[in-house]
Each structure stands twice: as structure tokens, then as C-alpha cells.
Amino acid sequence: MDMKVVPVREGNYNLKDYEKLRENFSWDDMKKYFSWDTTGKVNMAYEALDRHAEDSEKKNKIALIYSDPYREEKVTFKDLSKASNRFANILKDYGVEKGDRVFLFMPRSPEFYTAFFGILKVAAVAGPLFEAFMEQAVRDRLQDSEAKILITTPELLKRVPQENLPNLEKIVIVGDHIDDSDKYIDYYKEMEEASDEFDIEWVDLEDGMLLHYTSGSTGKPKGVYHVHHAMIQHYATGEWVLDLKEDDTYWCTADPGWVTGTSYGIFAPWLHGVTNVVRGGRFTPEDWYNTLEKYEVSVWYTAPTALRLLVSHGEEKVSNYNLSSLRHIMSVGEPLNPEVVTWGLKAFNLRIHDTWWMTETGAQLIVNLPSLEIRPGSMGKPIPGIEATIIDNEGNELPPNQMGNLAIKEGWPAMMRKIWNNPSKYESYFMNGWYVSGDSAYKDEDGYFWFQGRLDDVINTSGERVGPFEVESKLIEHKAVAEAGVIGKPHPERGEIIKAFITLNEGYEETPELLEDIRTFVKTGLSAHAAPREIEVKDSIPKTRSGKIMRRLLKSWELGLPTGDTSTLEK
Ligand code: WT7
């Protein structure tokens, strides 16, 4: 692996001394930033929103810039605070109480963020569902969580099951809907009538705030439960990793149906009171570059899958836009290919900072801090307050450079507090005081962590272990390859052989010669045993919305097995 050190563009970041930050660090010391310190009570909605609305210098600042192809809106902290007060009043009127689950099934919009904060203000638990879910996915989640209220749009209502949801009392409709049954609440009508004053429900740090459903390798999606305490880590990483400053305009491209879209699309930026850009609609390179240019985005948090698409559209495209405001880029969700980091340096003259974490961890844990040297292909080092290591299957720590289970010392502010309705599943994450991530990785002598794959994805071919990520990274370095997903295919002699699914860049056609050339490219670039014995060209590679290649699905296709839960598949 290339160990090239990537230089920092001088003056660009707040360069905090990593070792100093780590020394004697205690999460408790960070409580002083929050009302908790003086009152012993807290609420994320207060800290991220009302606090700024009460501040005479901040209240008229733009909190949210929302845009999609049909709509553009700018909302101040004061207006968002008032609007969410109205929504909190509506929920209270309909009997929502502390701890009740209130779900949102709707696209990103100002109404989404208004309702989301309204839910937190009554101390209910918010459950955002990704808009592409089909009926079964919605049903599974509403049933398991026993949600009391659902907020949706007339279009998405078609995918909301109308039966077998005994706990669902009301459905709030954001838009026109002709049905006067008292099951439905008309959002716009009731918002007009509701008061914009609301006494926020103060909670304890350990009170529930958020349920994010996530798919495991088996079984139904599980509800990962987060508490208000997470704010401490969202705030801290907002400073250390996102490097947010007062005047930043920040854009996180993730949907709030996924944890990145809440932790870093809502909490971290607004805890810091920065202007937050939300872009709805579909991805195109033009649209994304436009968004960066038009709103003068300075800090940008996105995903490798999007970055790879930008790469495949060429670096010349970037030069058509004025991106001079952009000063900091981060990535999350899957391995950030070294090739993309190298491309970022050329295309943006900026480093792309990889960050590693999971739905379950609630916030970033292993990152490329602005002050650290970047080793392309490495996720970086644990943030202050986090101890990470590699353990074997018995829970023993392994020395540097040995591959094993990536594990984190139990107990950090943003960690999930339970799996909803499933205590034994929750327990199964822990071993010897470590949270076991399910990722395989190794740590080098300097403490940098290198991701290898999900444990169930690691390929063993002729007794050699091969991480699919390595092969995929190599494949996309080939000029003809746009995206790649690699699986182990059972083979009588070799255990598994490597099979690659690829998409081709524009201007390339599938020929036996081209496929052989790609194979040789990996063989000579990486190693003979890592070269795919089979390559299949596809129109697209299946990915989750958080950008992970669904190797499990590729494998099921390949083996002709049932495909299981594909509710998180990007449509
Ligand atoms: C899994 C968690 C939390 C952000 C969205 C994904 C993979 C995440 C990285 C990274 C390599 C990564 C891991 C992890 N992953 N970030 N920087 N490098 N892999 O959340 O859907 O809960 O998935 O995503 O495999 O376990 P998620």
C-alpha cells in the first residue's frame, strides 16, 4: 500500500496537536459547553437550535439553506426554532409524551427539520426513515418501534401500511390530502393554528432521542437507540474533525434517514451554529458542483461512492466551477480508495479526510484529523477519548500489522444505548469490555488503522486472505473501470476465487481483450492471487444509501440465493 504522506494546504485548518488533545482527556470536561453543566438538564433541540435563536447575534443568521430542483429556501435559527415550537405543540396536543416514538417518512425539506426538532422538544424519540423504502421496510420499522405518530407526504403515504400497526395513532400529512378521517393531521393547517411558544421538555443526558434502523448480515433491520448524551461527541468532533468555525457554510450530502444525515447533517453543524446546506433531489456531478459553488460551501462531508462518480466524470469538470470557498472535505461510509485521495489533491487541491464510524457508534471514532498526516487508504487514528485496537476472536489484543477485529473500549458519549426490543443482540456486540465492530482491520506501528473489510466479506483464496476493498481499489485505478464490487465465489480447489463486478467508464466497451487487460492490471498491480478470475460487466453496482457496495447482494445473485433484506439498497 502506498504510504505517501499528503501535505496540508497551509492555513487551511485549525491545526490542533493530536497528542496534546488526547492527553488527560475526559468527556466529562466537555459537559461545560452545555446547559447540563448549570441546570443538570439538557435537550439536543435546545443546544442545537433554541440556544442560537435566543442569542441576539445569531438569531437572524441562516441556519438552513434548503434547495432542490423546484424549491429554494433559507431559514434563520429563530424561524426554525419558532416553527419547531409549533410542531411540538401539535404533538403535545395529540398526546405525545416523553419516550414515545415519532417517525418521519419523507424527503429532506424544511418541514422535515422543523418536525424533527419538534419531536425532540417534546422529548419523544425520532425515527427518520429513508424515502426510498418500500412498504415492507416501513412496516418492519413501525411495528418494531411501536411508533405512535408518523409524519409523511401524500406521495409516500401510498407506501405506508394501513394494517397491523395497532400503536400508530395518527399520521401527519405534509401536503394536500383529501381524507377527513381523524387518523390524519393536516400539517400546514395545524402549523398555522399552533402557538410558536413552547416550554421545552428538559431531559437527562441518558434519555432517548433517536432510533436508526440498520441492516445486519442476517435477520430484520435492528433499531439502534441513541440518547441526548451524544451531543457531547457531536460537538467535539464538529470542532476537531469537521473543523467548523462561525463563518463556515457546511454541506453534508447524507440523508437524515441514515445516521450520517442526523449526527453530521443536523447535530454537529447546528451545535456549532453554522449555516447548513441541504440539497434534495438526485445526484449529478453538475448539480453537486453547482451546489458547492452557489452556496460557497466551505466544509463538505460526503461519501466515497459519490467521490468515485465525480472521479469518473473527470477532473476537467471541476475547473468549470469556482470552488474557492471549499477548504475542507471529509468522507465516510466505506473505504476511501487511495486513488480518490490522490484525485482530490489534483482536482480540489485539498486532502480528503476519511472518517470511520457506524450507526451503532453514533459519532466518528477513527478519523483523519486535519492536524494528522494522511496515509491514503488508512482511516486515520482514534479521536481523543476513544481507545481502539485490534482483537482476535477470543478478545485478546493483537500486535501491530496483524489483521483482526476492529474493537473500541466500551463507553463513549454517542454510543448506542440499546438495540430496540433486542437486548441479546445488544449484548452480542461486546467482548471483554470491547465493542466489536464486525470490521476487520489492522493497526500499523504508528497507530494508523487500515480497514480490510466487513468480517464476513474477507475472501480466502488458496489460503491467502484478500480484502475485497484492496481489489476494488485496484480495479478502479484502471482507466476503463468506474466502479467495482468484489466477492469471494466458492470454488472446490481454491476455497474461494475472486469475482469482480464492474461498471465501465464512458467510451469503453466490453471485449474479451479489455477484461483480460483489467485482470492483468490487478495481477501486476496488486498480486496474482488478488486478480479476479471472473469479471462481469454490469450497468450499476448495488449500493446502500450510505454508499457501501452490497457484496452480500452480489454474492446472492452469483449463487442464485434469495437476496434477503434489500430495503437499504440505493434505488
Ligand atoms: C460500516 C458502518 C456511519 C457512517 C455511515 C455508515 C463501513 C464506515 C468507513 C470508512 C471503511 C467504513 C464499515 C462500518 N465504514 N466508514 N471510513 N472506511 N469502512 O454507517 O451503515 O452503520 O455502516 O460502514 O464497514 O462497519 P453504517
Report pLDDT digits (tens) over 131-154. Answer: 877 787 788 899 999 999 999 999
Does residue 334 have a pLDDT over 90? no
Give the range among 188-192, 455-459, 532-536 with minimum mean pLDDT.
Answer: 455-459
Contact between residue 422 and residue 444 where contact means Cβ atoms under 8 Å apart? no
pLDDT, position 177: 86
Atom of ligand 1 nearest to the CA of 336: 18
- CA separation for the pair 439, 456 (Å, rounded): 9
As a whole number, mean pLDDT of residues 478-500 equals 88
| Cα–Cα distance, 540 to 528 (Å, whole number) | 26
Q: What is the pLDDT of residue 371?
A: 85
**HEC readout, 197-222:** CCCCCCECCCCEEEEEEECCCCCCCE
User: For a pocket test of ligand 1, which of 1, 213, 357, 473 has the largest count of ligand atoms closer than 8 A to its C-beta?
Assistant: 357
CATH of the domain at 323: 3.40.50.12780
Cα of 514 vs centre of ligand 1, distance in Å, is 32
Same-domain check for residues 257 and 117: yes
- Predicted TM-score (pTM) of the model is 0.84
Confidence of residue 455 (pLDDT cuts 50, 70, 90): confident
**What is the distance between the alpha carbons of residues 360 and 358, in angstroms, rounded to a whole number?**
5
DSSP-derived secondary structure letter, 312 = H
Do 340 and 482 reside in the same domain of the chain? no
Q: Of 124-128, 262-266, 368-372, where does mean pLDDT reach its minimum?
A: 368-372
CA distance 107 to 154: 12
Residues 214 and 311 in one domain: yes
CB-neighbour burial class of residue 113 (10 A; exposed 0-12, middle 13-18, buried 19+): buried
Q: Is residue 250 part of a domain?
A: yes
ipTM score of complex: 0.99
Task: State the sign of the Cα–Cα–Cα–Cα dihedral 314, 316, 321, 325.
Answer: positive
Cell of 118: 419538534
Q: Measured over all CA atoms, what is the biggest interatomic distance in the chain, rounded to whole angstroms?
A: 72
Instruction: Kindly state the cell numbers that stand for 500.
Output: 469482480
Do 415 and 521 reside in the same domain of the chain?
Answer: no
pLDDT at 493 over 80: no
Q: How far is the CA of 356 from the centre of ligand 1 (A)?
A: 6
User: Which pLDDT tens digit goes with each residue over 18-64?
Assistant: 888 888 899 998 888 898 888 989 999 999 999 999 999 999 999 99
| CA separation for the pair 434, 571 (Å, rounded) | 36
Query: String of b and e for 316-342 (b: at least 16 CB within 10 Å)?
Result: eebeebebeebbbbbbbbbbbbbbbbb
Asked if 261 and 381 sit in the same domain, the reply is: yes
Distance 224 CA to ligand 1 centre (A): 15
In a domain, 241, yes or no: yes
Per-residue confidence band for 9, with pLDDT thresholds at 50, 70 and 90:
low
Give me the domain span that covers residue 25.
Answer: 18-443
CB-CB contact of 446 with 399 (8 Å): no
Residue type, 276: N
549 and 423 fall within a common domain: no
Closest-lying ligand 1 atom to the alpha carbon of residue 379: 17
- In whole angstroms, what is the distance from residue 553 CA to residue 216 CA? 13
Alpha carbon nearest to ligand 1 atom 6, residue: 333
Give the pocket of ligand 1 (CB within 6 Å): 214, 259-260, 332-335, 354-359, 379, 437-439, 451, 454, 546, 548
The percent helix, strand, coil of the chain (3-state, each to 5) is 30, 25, 45
Q: How many residues does the chain have?
A: 571
Bridge partners, residue 74, by sequence: 65
Please name the residues in contact with 32: beta carbons below 8 A apart, sequence gap of 6 or more: none
Residue 545 in domain: yes
The angle subtended at Cα 278 by Cα 273 and Cα 280, nearest 5°, is 170
In a domain, residue 506? The reply is yes
When pLDDT is cut at 50, 70 and 90, the band that residue 309 belongs to is confident
Give the lowest-confidence range in 26-35, 118-127, 391-400: 26-35
Of 415, 443, 471, which residue is a domain's last? 443
Residue 239, in any domain of the structure: yes
User: Which atom of ligand 1 approaches the CA of 331 most closely?
Assistant: 17
Residues 67 and 177 in one domain: yes
User: Which three cell numbers, joined as nine digits, stand for 98?
Assistant: 416523553
Q: Residues 160, 226: contact at Cβ < 8 Å?
A: no
Domain containing residue 469: CATH number: 3.30.300.30
Which distant-in-sequence residues (6+ apart) come within 8 Å of 422 by Cβ? 222, 223
* Residue of the CA atom closest to atom 12 of ligand 1: 334
How far does the centroid of ligand 1 lie from the alpha carbon of residue 211, in Å? 18
d(CA 546, CA 527) in angstroms, rounded, equals 30
Whether residues 207 and 173 share a domain: the answer is yes
Whole-angstrom distance, CA of residue 363 vs CA of residue 474:
29
Q: Which residue has the cell 472521479?
A: 311
Residue 6: the pLDDT is 58
Has residue 219 got a pLDDT over 60? no
Q: Name the one residue in this structure whose C-alpha cell is 458519549.
A: 413
Q: What is the mean pLDDT of residues 356-365?
A: 96
451 CA distance to ligand 1 centroid (A)?
10
Query: Distance from the CA of 565 to the center of ligand 1, in angstroms?
Result: 18
Residue 1 belongs to some domain of the structure: no
Assigned C-alpha cell, 169: 395513532
Domain membership of residue 451 (yes or no) is no
Task: Using the mean position of ligand 1's atoms as its centre, give its distance from the Cα of residue 513 in Å.
Answer: 35
Q: Which one of 443, 466, 493 terminates a domain?
A: 443
Clarify whether residues 427 and 466 are in a common domain: no
Same domain, 406 and 490: no
113 versus 461: the higher-pLDDT residue is 113
Q: Which amino acid is at 296?
A: E
Amino acid in position 528: A
Instruction: Please say which residue of 394, 416, 443 terminates a domain.
Output: 443
Q: Evaluate whether residue 567 is within a structural domain.
A: no
Is the per-residue pLDDT at 174 higher than 60?
yes
383 and 506 both lie in a single domain:
no
Query: What is the pLDDT, as a whole number, of residue 221?
Result: 76
Distance separating alpha carbons of residues 387 and 409, to the nearest angstrom: 5
Residues 321 and 250 in one domain: yes
Total number of domains in the chain = 2
pLDDT band at 552 (very low <50, low <70, confident <90, very high): confident
**Residue 464 binned pLDDT confidence (cut-offs 50, 70, 90):** low
Pocket mutation for ligand 1, best pick of 356, 450, 544 (most atoms within 8 Å of C-beta): 356
509-518 long-range Cβ contacts below 8 angstroms, 24+ apart: 510/537, 514/480, 517/478, 517/480, 518/475, 518/478, 518/480, 518/481
Task: Using the mean position of ligand 1's atoms as its centre, give its distance from the Cα of residue 333 in Å.
Answer: 4
Write the DSSP symbol of residue 346.
H
Residue bearing cell 473489510: 453
